[in-house]
Amino acid sequence: MRPNESFIAQPIRSLQTMLRVLAESDNKYARVIPDGIYGPQTMAAVSAFQRNHGLGVTGVTDQATWEAIVTAYDPALTALVEAQPVDIILNPNQVLRRGESSPYLYVAQALLLVLSQTYASVGTPSQSGTLDAATGDAISSFQTLSGLPMTGELDKVTWKQLALHFPLAANIGRGTVRQVSGP
């Protein structure tokens, strides 16, 4: 619902789009269709916004109302849009071995923690960013579960399997996400 480039120099349509996003994120706002016409529906939506934000209720978008709508729009849009996925890709021959530290290991340890709470055979890793004994053991047990060679090292193939197993273990994609507490 972010105004696209066709809305440039179309302030009414931009206003209506922002109001629409606000209404979709919170039902206290009136819905409006971004048609570019400042008609009764838009005036009602602006009035509802003004009322909810302690502004003078006129139905007219003055500078204070515009700025308040813009300020409210970004958090509302963020709440509606899915979070951007993070693609972490190990280099083809990159292998993280015992004793090594890497930001990737924090992520792998978090994934392994969830997997350890779902699969009893996967050990509980540390949360250190270092491939220590506990993390190596967790990786080894996960590799065994996944039918991979048990090396205790984090390579591209093991990473791919972690990424594939995590959504199932966390129930992502089924409408619920389990709350996982820290160590």
Q: Which domains does the chain have, with CATH numbers?
A: 5-80 (1.10.101), 86-183 (1.10.101.10)
CB neighbour class for 112 (10 Å; exposed up to 12, middle 13-18, buried from 19): buried
- What pLDDT is attached to residue 99? 96
- What pLDDT is attached to residue 182? 46
- What pLDDT is attached to residue 172? 59
- What pLDDT is attached to residue 183? 44
DSSP state of 36: S
Burial readout 65-90 (b: 16 or more C-beta within 10 A, e: otherwise): beebbeebbeebbeeeeeeeeeeeeb
For the stretch 77-126, pLDDT in tens is 888 877 777 778 788 889 999 999 999 999 999 999 999 988 889 999 99
- What pLDDT is attached to residue 180? 47
Query: Per the confidence metrics, is the pTM higher than 0.75?
Result: no
* pLDDT < 70: residue spans in the chain: 1-8, 172-183
Average pLDDT along the chain: 87
- What pLDDT is attached to residue 92? 81
C-beta of residue 154 within 8 angstroms of C-beta of residue 95? yes
- Which residues neighbour 31 within 8 Å (Cβ) at sequence distance 6 or greater? 20, 23, 24, 45
